[in-house]
Structure 1
Amino acid sequence: MENTTTPAAVTPASVAIRYGLLIGIVTVIYSLVLMATGLEQKPVLGFVTFGILIVGIVLAHKYFKQNHGGFMSYGQGLGIATIMGAVIGTLSSVFRYIYVNFVDAEYTQRAIETARAKLEADGMSDEQVEQAMSFTSKMMATGPLSIVFGILASAFFAFLLALVISAFTKNARPEFE
């Protein structure tokens, strides 16, 4: 008797979840290193996270095309990246929530103090600094709702990146084959 099992179909969602988990773990490890070393306030190092996301999207698109005869539509590329972003956002947001609330409870206060020092060094008046710090404190949500915002923000940024990336990585199946 022959083994007639077929391999599981590679769908945009399955690729997005696979690569979302992989890139999410890389992002969490990178964030942990930055937070543990106190380098998370360096803007240049924050852009590395976007680089990781871009590489992840490109690799996911490549994998999908390899398993679909070299074809991927623009919409499939957008879908893969958006779901990836949501998965990455879930992992990153849960990690950040646990880290900020249970591992390093002073993290938020240190971040606020660092922001205040930067604003003062930039020559802002006391009134401007207080106004900016009031806004910053409101935006630094540390409760469970921060997880939802993190997921939505990551999915949104992945979608925005995919608008450009998918234009380059797509390879639509010909209409008349």
Structure 2
Amino acid sequence: MEKNKGKLWEKGIIIALILIVLNLIFHFTGQDQNPSMGWIGIAIFVVAIIYITIQYSKEHDGQVTFGNLFAHGFKVSAIVTLIMIIWVVLMYKVIFPDMQETMMQMQRTEGLKKGYSEEQLSKGLEITKKYFMTFAIGGTLLTYAILGLIGALLGAAFSKKMPANSSPFQQ
């Protein structure tokens, strides 16, 4: 069982590192505020969870249940979620502390384009600034938890599983 836990962490760390490197590439190329680029990270995460779930089934020669496969995929996605939450905190507080202000200015510009008054924007941005880290952490948690759920479900559905009429206790 300990060997399996080590593999879970390894898989989670590898997926999270890929997502972090992608995030850094987007940041340094100025594409981090491009909403369409966010879909690339989402696709990579979901496909990675599906892939590791299918690989888990192959490692066990299909002698696993849907529940085993789903649990494995979701555990890896939970590890990725934890790492990405830590990344978000480090990114906004330590590595790129000016990023929050840049995002606030972009929101102000977008609000002015949509016709909001300066007073409305100031109130909204004040609340956003006050709860920025809460929103960032909560958004990361919800996004990765929901996407991990979807990836684990799809991975378990596409994986080879033990036939329905057989039992793991039969030899």
TM bracket (short chain): 0.7 to 0.9
Structure 2 stretches lacking a partner, 5+ long? none
SS at match of 2:86: helix
8 Å CA contact 1:78, 1:162 repeated in 2: yes
Deviation at 1:112, TM superposition (A): 1.0
Conservation of the 8 A alpha-carbon contact between 1:10 and 1:67: no
Equivalent residue for 1:36, pick from 28, 43, 50: 28
- Give the conservation status (yes or no) of the 8 Å contact 1:28–1:91: no
TM (normalized to structure 2)?
Answer: 0.77
**Conservation of the 8 A alpha-carbon contact between 1:77 and 1:170:** no
Gaps of 5+ in 1: 1-7
User: What fraction of aligned residue pairs are identical, expressed as a percent?
Assistant: 19
2:159 corresponds in structure 1 to 169
| Mean CA deviation greater in 123-132 or 16-25 | 123-132
SS in 2 for 1:141: helix
TM-score by length of 1: 0.75
Q: Could you list the per-position Cα deviations for residues 13-67 of structure 1 after superposition, in whole angstroms to 9, with x for gaps in the alignment? A: 5553232111111001111112223321111111111111112112201210111
Aligned to 1:158: 148
- Alpha-carbon distance change, 68 to 88 in structure 1, aligned in 2, over 3 angstroms: same
Is residue 61–residue 77 contact of structure 1 (8 Å, CA) maintained in 2? yes
**Aligned residue identity for 1:122:** K
CA RMSD in angstroms, aligned pairs only? 3.0
Runs of 4+ in 1 over 6 A off after TM superposition: none
Moved more, 39-48 or 114-123: 114-123
2:46 and 2:150 in contact (8 A); partners too? no
Aligned-pair CA distance for 1:9: 8.2
Alpha-carbon distance in structure 1 between the residues aligned to 2:70 and 2:127: 33
Q: Distance in 2 between matches of 1:65 and 1:10?
A: 16
Q: Give the structure 2 partner of residue 46 of structure 1.
A: 38
Q: 1:164 to 1:59 in 2, by over 3 A?
A: closer
Q: By percentage of residues, which structure has more helix?
A: 2
